[in-house]
Chain A
Amino acid sequence: MAKFDVVGHSVRRPDAYDKVTGGRGFPVNVTLPGMLHARMLRSPYAHARIRSINASAAEKLAGVKAVLTPGDVPQKKFSPLFFMPTESNELIRDLVLLSENIRYAGQPVAAVAASTPDIAEAALDLIDVDYEELTAVFDPEEAMQPGAPRISPTAANNIARTPTLSRGDLEAGFREADEIFEGTYCTQRVHTCYMEPRVCVVDSDMQGNLTVYASVQHIFGLREKLAYVLSRPESGIKVVKSPYIGGGFGSKLDLVYIEPLAALLSLKTRRPVRMEHTRYEDFITNARHPMKVYLKTGVKKDGTFTARYAKTIVDTGAYATHGPEVIMVHAVFSFFSAYRCPHQKWDGVVVYTNNMLGGAFRGYGAPQGCWAVESQIDEICHGLKMDPLEFRLKNAHHEGDAHPFLKQFTLASYRLADCINQGAERIGWKNRSRTPSGAGTKRRGIGVACHPLWVSGCVGLPDIYEHSGAIVKLNRDGTADLATATIDMGTGQNTTLCQIAAEELGIAAESVRMSYADTDTVPFDAPSHASRVTYSAGNAVKAAAGEARRRLLQVAGEMLEADAADLEVRKGIVQVKGSPDVNLTVAEVVSRAESPLVQMTAAGPKVTTIKEKGSIIGVSSMAPPGNPSPCAAEFVEVEVDTETGAVKVLRVVYAHDIGRVINPAAAQGQVEGGVQQGIGYALMEHLQFDPGTGACVTGDFLDYKMPTAVEMPAEIESIFIESDEPTGPFGAKGLSEVCLTIPAPAIANAIFNAVGVRVRDLPITPEKILAGLGKL
């Protein structure tokens, strides 16, 4: 008999058809009667001061209902991150809703609400802005030089933060080393390319209460930031959870300009106001931070690390936003705590530039760090003539070790070695040739990279929200409604969480439905990010379902005149353990609980017991019990065209330890999506800007290249090593980020294996390979 009835099965997503047909659940499809449409005017200059702004002609245009310029909006400085308390000391509050100081090309300077989008757009042309243009600086290292244009009035040399981490004695470690390797590894700015644009509809009532519909990954975060920016009480803002959003990948973890501007426009006009980004606006709203990582690593001849030093320069863009936070996650989880090493040091620099803002993007700093660390390990192994798998196993953490950073936890489930060994087996690692193979102009190679340490949420990290909550309510037809603030951004969490509830309740997966939620009605929840939902929200859902089940069994106990402790519920039937004939359906129990106290029968009135009465409901609101680390090893085979430099990824084997797999098809989908984003990061994706003006030149999918189905490998094999995480819901950990952090180094290492060319700056374009081959 299977251990679980629901968990571990590839339950179909109930909303799949809706979603692929552009269903009404997407916030982009929300419309309200009398709704206005708003657009933003953006600065053409990357660095400027507004001398004056005159919107009177725009205000006079027929159909224009309201215009906002810097003078009309609060000048309160804020940080837009949803997942941290607004006043956190970790954050730098330097964004202003509409400011007279322009720090990047495309920064909004005004907003117009009109009866149609076209009128709003036309009105933008009528706003007269007089700019004083200032010298801009786009390169973070130039920005740090004395005499560089000053971007932030408070940051000397444009340096926002300089965090460090250190352990042991670095110099002693380098003295112990037999060899020392150095290298600098760079990454580019990339966008998440979610399908649904940033969009919101904000309505206001006569008391000034706001109701907000938006495509975001966190309804409570949006409520908190909106309240802060607008200086309004949180209780006066209701953010409605949409049934699903069209992707997020981290990009929807911030307040952006549209939500507070739409709110102000709605308050001003007393009408609902809708704002939607164009794709170009999405591209310039936030992006994965470019980082430059210098590594110096000491190793023994046998491959043991003796000392590791890293320095990271983060281009945080025009405002600090994620810079101070992303650099820490980057440092801890992709460098400092990734492998065992006694002597380590890391220096970070967060630099302002006149570039667009950085944002969250699946992996939050880890892809940049893994790129450096996992590429360099390959170089070290080449230098030492050592097998890269053996090297990693030698320096890896072990199951049962204390967590290398979050000292209150242990690595209770941790199967990196199995990931490495099983992946190696499937790709045929032992047949991998050390020298390039292939015929004609094509060469093939195999590469590997690991992601040793990651998170299932943020417990233990300072100032990051973590708790989750859920309401599970049973219905008289034997089904259950699940309400949580958790947003399904495409990962299938609606289904996975329903499976967890169903397993715990003892009913079929199809019998649990994800129901309505908004910030007024359900417990607080942290965002859908940080590989946390299955683990953290899953634990909360399991707890709420457990409470509902206890109540169900109590009522059933009354009905069967049995002790609740002797009852069990499986597949929708409550029965006495060991006597399956004494049973009731869940529907019968719930119906009884909600029936009148006195029931009229053929034999006259029958009094049931008070103890049975009341809806069967369970509520939870809790912090998750731990922060277990998923881990992964990825193997890729590539083919390189030595005449064009083109790289084709032929095959991917991706082995993960994510604890128990709740929904195998959904997990596999995550991995395949991660591989797609990882290949894009490795080979082609790159937000580029005009070097003179700072304007984005890759603002649509003609110029911004991401892999299509044609560029995807014919074969992606997902291996799940099912460890049993003791703190996880049914043994589960997180998945969604480790599956995209390492394709880039794995591909780079495979390219090196194929043609002997080492590229250290992303993306690995054909040109860089040809240059490496001496052909350009």
Chain B
Amino acid sequence: MALPKLREFITPADAQGVLNALRNYQDRALIVAGGTFLHGLESRGLLTHVEALIDIQRLGLDYLESGKDGLKLGATALFADLETMPEIRNDPWLGAIKDALVFPPVQVKNAATIGGSVAASCPFFDVPISFMCLDGVVKCRGSSGMRDIPMQEFFTGLFANAMENGEFMVELAIPRPRTRSASAFMKVETNANDLAILNAAVRIDVDESGTCSDARVIAGGGVGETPIRLSDAEQVLVRQRLTPEICARAGLSAKGSVNPISDHRASAAYRSEMTRVMVNRALRQALDRLRQ
């Protein structure tokens, strides 16, 4: 049965209404944004405790703003709208988001929200790790006000995150890089409607001399209960002039630092090897973007 204990479907008009409902129902409440992930949770029996659904789509959180500090993406803004932002389409530093948005099916893009994709805390999703490599920050709201959680500290386990009971996500902020920067995302999947067997998102920042000043290498999709940041691979890149050989070395390093799972979709050995290939390919793609 869908939600055997469901008693209420609440559609608050403002943030206070959401907070009230969260306080009333505690961990028996579930926020709904686009609702695209609910079926997956429900059919696996993960929502049997839910007594109230709280729809947050009337809160006006569907904005997408670009300023000098970076992007402010409202929690209920849709993938379909994000995809059409000129900066996402054109700017090399946001390449990873553009790449990740290629994968969800059109129907999902028309309903899925930025907040839902992050808050779902599913390690197999694509879009969140593109935010992660860009040092995105989750802005969440609780009874005591606003709180920032860096994406890299956000995921704490399978379907678990650093938000407290009573808090909900209102925005994702992405800081504008201070140097030249490019990012890219790659995915291994079986068909066009698949969770990642493995995915990788990378960012490279370079200074005026063309030397890599900072880098992010993130892998997800079966590498663990959460997507992970691969600092060793990043260290291969930093302070180097980036070449295909360096990218390949970073890929190898990435492979060495993951310990993926085996399941019915792929073996651990395959996922390890794909970490190498996808990190390498994503870095090459980012490198190409830098040169544009």
Contacts and interface: CB of A to CB of B under 8 A. Distances in A.
A703 interface: yes
Contact of A711 (B191, B195, B264, B269): B191
Contacts of A169: none
> Interface of chain A, helix or strand or loop or mixed?
loop
A767 B267 contact: yes
Interface in A687-718: 688, 697-698, 700-703, 705-711
A360 to B, nearest CB: 25
A697 to B, nearest CB: 5
B193 interface: yes
Contacts of B195: 702
B273 A770 contact: yes
A701 B193 contact: yes
B265 A708 contact: no
A122 B2 CA distance: 11
Contacts, number: 52
B43 A700 contact: yes
A494 B269 CA distance: 50
Contact of A707 (B1, B40, B191, B269): B191
B190 A697 contact: no
Contact of B192 (A121, A708, A767): A708
Contacts of B43: 280, 700
B191 A706 contact: yes
A132 to B, nearest CB: 26
A697 B194 CA distance: 15
Interface residues of A, number: 29
Which of B43, B195, B264 has the most A CB atoms < 10 Å from its CB?
B264
A705 B191 contact: yes
Interface residues of B, number: 21
A602 interface: no
A674 B266 CA distance: 26
Given A688-B264, A697-B264, A700-B43, A767 B270 contact: yes
A166 B118 CA distance: 63
Contact of B274 (A644, A705, A707): A644
A686 B191 CA distance: 13
B4 interface: yes
B88 to A, nearest CB: 22
B132 interface: no
Interface in B222-273: 264-267, 269-270, 273
B215 interface: no
B139 to A, nearest CB: 30
Nearest to A708: B192
Nearest to A645: B270
Given A700-B43, A766-B270, A776-B269, A122 B191 contact: no
B162 interface: no
A121 B45 CA distance: 13
Contacts of B4: 118, 122
B97 interface: no
Contacts of A122: 1, 4
16 contacts: A118-B1, A122-B4, A280-B43, A643-B277, A698-B264, A700-B43, A705-B190, A705-B191, A705-B194, A707-B191, A711-B191, A767-B266, A767-B267, A767-B269, A775-B273, A776-B270
Interface of B: 1-2, 4, 40, 43, 188, 190-195, 264-267, 269-270, 273-274, 277
Given A702-B193, A776-B270, 12 more contacts: A121-B1, A280-B43, A643-B277, A645-B270, A697-B264, A701-B193, A705-B191, A709-B192, A711-B191, A766-B270, A770-B273, A775-B273
Among all A-B residue pairs, the 4 with the closest Cβ atoms: A710-B192, A705-B190, A688-B264, A121-B1
